[in-house]
Amino acid sequence: MSKMIAMNRKASHEYFLLDRFEAGLVLQGTEIKSIRKGSVQLKDAYISFVGNEAFIKEMHIPPYDFGNRFNHDETRIRKLLLHKEEIKKLQEKVKLKGFTIVPVSLYLEKGMAKMEIALAKGKNLHDKRESEKARDAKREIEKALKKQL
């Protein structure tokens, strides 16, 4: 049982999402309370590596309303918890041209904040147009089927 907190819709528009991984987050202070409130932004977030560790940068978690002096920095760098093999695999793929790692969604599972990240390859302009056409066609089909019922 998991509760969806935030989705990065821009990621599926800008990238082909290939492999997906689940990562834990190292949080401090009032960050988890603010996440439970549900006002997290993943739009500009990205994942980078330092040594054999993965970090998420530019993820915006607003300060908790009742946190007073114990509140956290909104866009601080947060460590991601992944297995060594997953980190090595992702680092190897990122070294290849055109691959990057993007956060896809943030959710709560058994009270813990988890993030779905994906190995992604950038789309060209014509790929984005094709995706939009396919989405519009699917929407039209669903609308036609709804009218028949």
pLDDT digits (tens, 9 = 90+) for 118-143: 999 888 877 778 888 888 899 999 98
Burial class (CB in 10 A: 0-12, 13-18, 19+), 1: exposed
Cα distance between residue 32 and residue 104, in whole Å: 18
Burial class (CB in 10 A: 0-12, 13-18, 19+), 24: middle
pLDDT digits (tens, 9 = 90+) for 91-111: 998 988 778 999 999 999 998
Domains of the chain and CATH, by start: 2-123 (2.40.280.10)
Tell me the percentage of the chain whose pLDDT exceeds 70: 99
Using the predicted structure, report yes or no on whether residue 6 has a pLDDT greater than 80.
Answer: yes
Q: Quick count: other Cβ atoms within 10 Å of Cβ 31?
A: 24
Structure confidence at residue 87 (pLDDT): 93
**53: pLDDT confidence band, cut at 50, 70 and 90?**
very high
Structure confidence at residue 131 (pLDDT): 83
- Looking at every residue in the chain, the average pLDDT score rounds to 88
Cα distance between residue 3 and residue 11, in whole Å: 20
Using the predicted structure, report yes or no on whether residue 65 has a pLDDT greater than 90.
Answer: no
